[in-house]
């Protein structure tokens, strides 16, 4: 599995490259062709996400100075080649999250808009990463299936590619609704259920960011997605009742 992309002296993980390409593609579509949101909100949302990604990338590259300052201060050029580990990734995630939440609140933008953009970016990035990598899971237990497909281990990247293609087709059919809690719940439930199935089938045991077991994390996201769907349905029911009550009063 090719986990890094080398650009000159820089060594960048594939997931960073995937997210960078996904952010570019999604924001280009959002700014150029999406018409359901005001231009000002679109520009602010795009600026916040791009800045958050840039600062996260910068924090990931510079965070080794926090953990091994003497080593890197002796030869700062090593920072260009150092991929880092889970601690550096957590710093990047923290910087991204704090900046995103702070700027979204400061600009008085709806948080659901940013979350919908993030889940769309995550789906696109997942597809790109499945194309760029050749990830293998554990050994296939069903020997007849392994013999039929001439495989010894689960082709996780193909599972990921298939599921993300399904999600992208659903998005094309359903449309992208950045300010809809219902859309966010559906997308989150669809994404997490697929990841949960893949993690279970391939028996992935490596913790996400060195901390969370994948199946537990995706199950948590699945629950959050269903909670959002229930909330959206309840709000829709309340709105319908209010409209009906107003109509009855007028009559």
Residue-wise pLDDT for 5-20, tens only, equals 666 656 677 777 888 8
Residue 84 pLDDT > 80, yes or no? no
C-alpha neighbours within 13 Å on the C-beta side of residue 182: 9
Cross-strand partners of 139: 153
Task: Tell me the three state secondary structure of residue 208.
Answer: strand
* Residues 156 and 134 sit within 8 Å (Cβ to Cβ): no
Residues 6+ apart with CB under 8 A from 92: 56, 57, 59, 60, 63
* Residues 190 and 198 sit within 8 Å (Cβ to Cβ): no
Cross-strand partners of 136: 155
Q: In terms of pLDDT, which residue wins out, 149 or 24? A: 24
Quote the pTM value: 0.79
């Amino acid at each position: 599995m090719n986990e890094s992309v080398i650009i000159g002296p820089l060594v960048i993980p594939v997931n960073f490259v995937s997210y960078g390409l996904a952010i570019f593609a999604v924001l280009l579509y959002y700014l150029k062709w999406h018409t359901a949101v005001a231009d000002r909100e679109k520009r602010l949302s795009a600026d916040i996400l791009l800045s958050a990604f840039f600062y996260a990338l910068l924090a990931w590259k510079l965070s080794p100075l926090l953990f091994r300052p003497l080593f890197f201060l002796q030869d700062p050029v090593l920072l260009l080649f150092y991929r880092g580990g889970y601690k550096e990734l957590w710093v990047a995630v923290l910087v991204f999250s704090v900046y995103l939440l702070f700027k979204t609140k400061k600009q008085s933008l709806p948080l659901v808009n940013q979350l919908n953009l993030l889940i769309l970016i995550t789906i696109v990035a997942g597809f790109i990463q499945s194309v760029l990598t050749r990830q293998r899971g554990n050994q296939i237990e069903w020997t007849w299936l392994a013999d039929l497909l001439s495989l010894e281990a689960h082709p996780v990247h193909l599972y990921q590619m298939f599921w993300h293609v399904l999600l992208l087709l659903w998005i094309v059919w359903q449309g992208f609704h950045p300010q809809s809690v219902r859309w966010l719940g559906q997308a989150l439930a669809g994404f997490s259920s697929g990841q949960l199935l893949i993690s279970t089938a391939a028996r992935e045991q490596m913790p996400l960011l060195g901390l969370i077991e994948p199946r537990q994390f995706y199950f948590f996201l699945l629950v959050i997605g269903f909670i959002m769907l229930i909330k959206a349905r309840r709000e829709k029911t309340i709105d319908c009742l209010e409209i009906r009550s107003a109509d009855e009063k007028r009559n």
